Structure 1
Amino acid sequence: MRVSVIGGSRVDEATAERARAVGRLLAERGYVVVCGGLGGVMEAVCAGASEAGGETVGILPTADRRDANEYVDTAVATGLGHARNAMVVMNGDAVVAIDGGAGTLSELGFAGVFDRPVAGLGTHDVAGVEAVDTPEQAVDYVAAALEG
């Protein structure tokens, strides 16, 4: 199964550490991590998953696969800019949102459209997002939704 992780492209160290932990925990449970493939939360979650031996997919806004962060195993170039946000969410069976701005908010909207369960860790307070306090709670929530 795949879990999309969405969030800010520029984050502080504490947020990056939370994202790295989410990536590690997802990989330890055997989930493939899907993200937007660039920096911030995307890079941190891929780093955590990679360190735990997990698989990562980056769905890029650009037309060049080489733009992916160094921890992306499979880079998908789209050339779509922010329109690729729908693809990021669509390619996960569940979503973890960490931090984020307007781009993350659009992805949360697509999560609702595609009926994906969403755990929110320090992100937007919107309908359909289960607010959690820790990376462990985020991963437990999506695991229960997927396996329950």
Structure 2
Amino acid sequence: MRVAVIGGSTVDAPTYDTAVTVGRLLGERGHTVVCGGLGGVMEAVCEGASQAGAETVGILPGEDRSAANGWVDTPIATGLGNARNPLVALNGDGVIAIDGATGTLSEIGHALDFGRPVAGLRTHGIETAGFEAVETPTAAVEYVERAVPGEPGAR
């Protein structure tokens, strides 16, 4: 399945390491990672996924595909700026949010509007159907695997 991973574009080392772990777990479980294609959480999750042999897709805000971080396999230029946020959420069957500010919050909202389950790891505290606050990278991956219909272990 495709999992969109969203989060801060500038993060501290522990958050970066958490996102690498999420990417690695997704890759080890055979998932494709979709993200915004730039730095911070986006770069880290792609790094972990790539190291595990997974495909990575970056949906970029600008017009230049070469602006993607070095771990993105398939960069998609949009020229839309932050208006590309719904496309990131739409292209994941489930979403994992790590850290982040208002851009991440908008992507969470779009994901929920699209009916995508969202696991929140050290991100915004939201109490609504479809959003699950989790404590670990493993819990984040397991939540989206359970919550996406048609996936093994889905509810």
The two structures have a TM-score, normalised by structure 2, of 0.94
What is the DSSP-based 3-state SS (H/G/I as helix, E as strand, rest coil) of the residue aligned with 1:33? strand
Aligned residue number for residue 111 of structure 1: 111
Structure 1 residue matching 2:10: 3-state secondary structure? coil
The residue aligned with 2:73 is 73
- CA shift, 1:79, in A, is 0.5
Q: Percent identity?
A: 66
SS of alignment partner, residue 123 of structure 2? coil
Equivalent in the alignment of 2:131: 129
Q: Deviations over 1:114-143 (max 9, x none)?
A: 010010000001124200000000001111
Distance 1:103 1:42 in 2: 13
- 1:88-122 deviation digits (Å, cap 9, x = unpaired): 00000000000000000000110111010010000
C-alpha distance in 2, partners of 1:109/1:145? Answer: 17
> Displacement, 1:36?
0.0
Counterpart-to-counterpart distance in 2, 1:133 and 1:58: 26
- Runs of 4+ displaced beyond 2 Å: none
Secondary structure in 1 aligned to 2:125? coil
1:34 counterpart = 2:34:
yes
Q: Distance in 2 between matches of 1:21 and 1:137?
A: 12
What SS does structure 2 have at the residue aligned with 1:115?
Answer: coil
Q: Which moved more, 1:119-128 or 1:45-54?
A: 119-128
SS state at 1:62 partner: coil
Partners of 2:140 and 2:122 lie apart in 1 by 11
SS at match of 2:107: helix
Give the unaligned 5+ runs of structure 1.
none
SS at match of 2:6: strand
Q: Give the RMSD, CA atoms, in angstroms.
A: 0.6
Give me the whole-angstrom Cα distance separating, in 1, the residues matched to 2:106 and 2:29: 27
CA–CA separation in structure 1 for the residues paired with 2:63 and 2:73: 17
Counterpart secondary structure, 1:95: strand
- In the alignment, the residues of structure 2 paired with residue 144 and residue 107 of structure 1 have an alpha-carbon distance, to the nearest angstrom, of 21
Deviations 1:4-59 (A, max 9, x none): 00000000000000000000000111110000000000000000000000000000
SS of the residue corresponding to residue 58 of structure 2 reads strand
Distance (Å, rounded) in 2 between the aligned partners of 1:40 and 1:49: 14
- What is the one-letter code of the residue matched to 2:131? V
Tell me the CA shift for residue 145 of structure 1: 1.3
For residue 98 of structure 2, what is the amino acid of its counterpart? I
